[in-house]
Amino acid sequence: MIQQNIYFNNLEEFINSSLQSYQVLTISLIDKKISSKKASGLGQGLGKCSNLLNLTLNLCQNQIDVQGASDLGSGLGKCSNLQNLTLGLEGNLIGNGDLSGLGSGLGECTNLQNLSLFLYQNQISAICASSLGFGLGKCTNLQNLILYLIQNQIDTQGASDLGQGLGKCTNLQNLKLYLNENKIDDGDLSGLGSGLGDCTNLQNLTLYLSKNQISAICASSLGSGLGKCTNLQKLTLSLENNKIDVQAASGLGSGLGKCTNLSKLTINLMHNKIGNGDLSCLGSGLGKCTNLSNLELSLGHNEIGDECASSLGSGLGECTNLSNLTLRLDNNQIRSEGASVLGSALIKCSNLSNLGLYLSRNLICLQGELELSSSLAKCTKLSNLTVELKKNCIKKSKYMKTKWLKSKRLVVLKINYN
């Protein structure tokens, strides 16, 4: 039995080698004009690697369609001892059709625990994504899954169906799902979150949905669905460059408030349509995550005004267990009043020890800086402070820096005006 990593970059050489002797194998066939027929042959060859434990298979930039991908999965399904698989199929011709054979084939690998599947830039449709989810749902022993579906044609229904399928992976602990630059628009996306909620062992989730057309109903339903992921401890949610308004952002927060075991949360809502209005439900919703200690919230480029900033602060004031907060509000329309109220509200985060507050390119003047500084000085446990105030209406003020330099409890201080 050969235990060291064996490398092939020629299909025929691999097919004609001692297939049953491999335990660790890397095959790189990038841009080799591999057709679906050749992919099927490769799958048959891999099916004879009965002792294979770890496989890295890179087939990006070839000519494999949906049938070839499914046949490849069927072949891999015969590798009953496979534990770790990285499969690169990006930049092929998968398109539309039934892709369940790929997932269900992998489901035959009863010892498969770790899977990384790269399928971006394949024109994958909703039907294809749905069938992939159905197939992957048979991989019941998966613990760690990374699924790249960037730059495809997946719509709201396809994303929801994918989530429902993945919900059957009941042993899944860590999931990274990339659905950037697809066709997800307004509609009910609750199936994606609620499906993942069926993964009762899921602890860490990274979900990228940036550069779609997600708006109010879609974002709110996503939050409602994710609220069923009650065992989540760490969540990264990227919704950058969509059409999310203030109501949708609040609905998202209300849903996430049901994830009571969350300890670390990163939300990116930059470049949306939040505007002005009552955003308190976003913060107060997160305040219900009673174990939340680390929060990074990015809301830059949203035309947020004083009312929105003030209500956000009011909501965040309910996150009393926060110890680390990064709040990005740059490139908005926040004036001195909004900055002042925001600072006053953060006093209620009584356990805050590390704060990064990014307010560059707003409309804050000297009075706002003074009031913000006075408020933050009342955060008695604060030891690390970063404040960005570039491109505001403050002219060469050093008040905040001078004031904080007198503080004996601060370990790290970074205040930038220019």
Least confident of 14-23, 98-107, 349-358, 397-406: 397-406
In this predicted structure, the answer to whether residue 200 has a pLDDT above a threshold of 90 is no
- State the Cα–Cα distance between residues 334 and 276, nearest whole angstrom: 10
Question: Quick one: average pLDDT of 210-219?
Answer: 92
Looking at residue 408, its pLDDT comes to: 63
- State the Cα–Cα distance between residues 130 and 126, nearest whole angstrom: 6
Looking at residue 397, its pLDDT comes to: 67
In this predicted structure, the answer to whether residue 396 has a pLDDT above a threshold of 80 is no
Tokens for 285?
Answer: 């919703």
Please give the residue that has the higher pLDDT: either 176 or 1: 176
Tokens for 265?
Answer: 């949360």
Looking at residue 407, its pLDDT comes to: 65
Looking at residue 269, its pLDDT comes to: 97
Q: What's the distance, CA 30 to chain centroid?
A: 27
The pTM of this model reads 0.94
- Average pLDDT, rounded, for the chain: 92
CATH architecture of 263-418: Alpha-Beta Horseshoe (3.80)
Looking at residue 217, its pLDDT comes to: 87
Question: Quick one: average pLDDT of 104-115?
Answer: 91
Question: Quick one: average pLDDT of 47-60?
Answer: 96
Looking at residue 387, its pLDDT comes to: 94
In this predicted structure, the answer to whether residue 405 has a pLDDT above a threshold of 70 is no
Looking at residue 216, its pLDDT comes to: 86
pLDDT tens for residues 157-190? Answer: 999 999 999 999 999 999 999 999 999 998 888 8
Phi, psi for 272 (deg, rounded to 5): -120, -155
CB 105, CB 135: distance < 8 Å: yes
In this predicted structure, the answer to whether residue 321 has a pLDDT above a threshold of 70 is yes
Per DSSP (E only), the strands in 63-139 are: 84-88, 114-118
Looking at residue 290, its pLDDT comes to: 85
pLDDT tens for residues 113-168? Answer: 999 999 999 999 999 999 999 999 989 899 999 999 999 999 999 999 999 999 99
Question: Quick one: average pLDDT of 94-99?
Answer: 89
Looking at residue 103, its pLDDT comes to: 87
Burial annotation 83-104 (CB, 10 A radius, 16+ → b, else e)? bbbbbbbbbbebeebbbbbbbb
Looking at residue 89, its pLDDT comes to: 97
- State the Cα–Cα distance between residues 226 and 255, nearest whole angstrom: 7
Specify the DSSP element, H or E, that contains 172: none
**CA nearest neighbour of 215 among 275, 300, 298:** 275
**CA nearest neighbour of 182 among 161, 205, 200, 208:** 208
Least confident of 30-34, 221-225, 232-236: 221-225
In this predicted structure, the answer to whether residue 409 has a pLDDT above a threshold of 80 is no
Amino acid occupying residue 217: I
Burial annotation 338-351 (CB, 10 A radius, 16+ → b, else e)? bbbbbbbbbbbbee
In this predicted structure, the answer to whether residue 32 has a pLDDT above a threshold of 80 is yes
Percentage of the chain modeled with pLDDT above 90: 71
